[in-house]
Amino acid sequence: MLASASPRRRELLAGLGLEFDVEPADVDETVLPGEAPEALVARLAAAKAAVVSSRRPGDLVLAADTTVVVDGEVINKPATPEENAAFLRRLSGRVHDVYTGHALRYAGRCEDVVVRTRVRFRSLTDGEVAWYVASGEGADKAGGYAIQGLGAALVAGIEGCYTNVVGLSLPTVVEAARRLGAPLV
């Protein structure tokens, strides 16, 4: 059971050949005062997993939450094209962190793991920022870009798990499910 409406997470799991249902959990995603990014994504993923596992107690439930952090500040999904452009200008030529909290629930047991991937953007021109924003691809993505799409042209390199930047660290999910006694592969 995937407790997420994210099409990227669905695609990643389907890529493993898994069959699963989708049941998004509606939780308040407000950042708490002073909350560290790792704590934020862990809390939100756990809350989403708890909601869905309470309705589906016999199922393996997977929930996740992803955020982008630059200069210690969380930048989530841009609200407007202008904010998307501002995000990209801020990330241009710099390194930022992508955090994903993963929460799995099965047979009364829990596995919660936060994964961090460092992403380095190349320096972007104003024209490149305008091109990407006009594509609309980053409108519903943490940090305002999608590494698996056109946004790949913005990224100079990564350190860590690529699928974590997409929104779900597949190696982490596979290992956590195995520890819960529910092997996925």
96-124: pLDDT as tens digits? 999 999 999 999 999 999 999 999 999 99
* Contact status, residue 110 vs residue 104, Cβ threshold 8 Å: yes
pLDDT at residue number 76: 87
7-179 under CATH 1.20.1600.10, yes or no: no
Q: Which amino acid is at 183?
A: P
Mean model confidence pLDDT for the chain: 96
Res. 137: pLDDT tops 90 = yes
**135 class by beta-carbon count within 10 Å (0-12 exposed, 13-18 middle, 19+ buried):** middle
Domain ranges within the chain, ordered by starting residue: 7-179
More confident residue, 31 or 128: 128
Determine the distance from the C-alpha atom of residue 34 to the mean position of all C-alpha atoms in its chain, rounded to a whole number.
21
pLDDT-derived band at 17, boundaries 50, 70, 90? very high
Q: Give the pLDDT confidence of 52-89 residue by residue, as tens digits.
A: 999 998 999 999 999 999 999 999 899 999 999 999 99
Order across the sheet with 109-121: list the strands: 73-75, 61-70, 95-106, 109-121, 155-159
Q: Which helix (H) or strand (E) holds 126?
A: helix 126-135
pLDDT at residue 133 in the model? 98
Is 65 catalytic? The answer is yes
How buried is 20 (Cβ within 10 angstroms: 0-12 exposed, 13-18 middle, 19+ buried)?
A: middle
Residue 150 has pLDDT above 90, yes or no: yes
Question: What pTM was estimated for this model as a whole?
Answer: 0.94
Query: Quick check: 122 and 156 in contact, CB under 8 A?
Result: yes
Burial 138-167 (b: 16+ CB within 10 A, else e): bbebbbbbbbbeebeebbeebeebebbbbb
Indicate which residue of 21, 28, 65, 112 is catalytic.
65
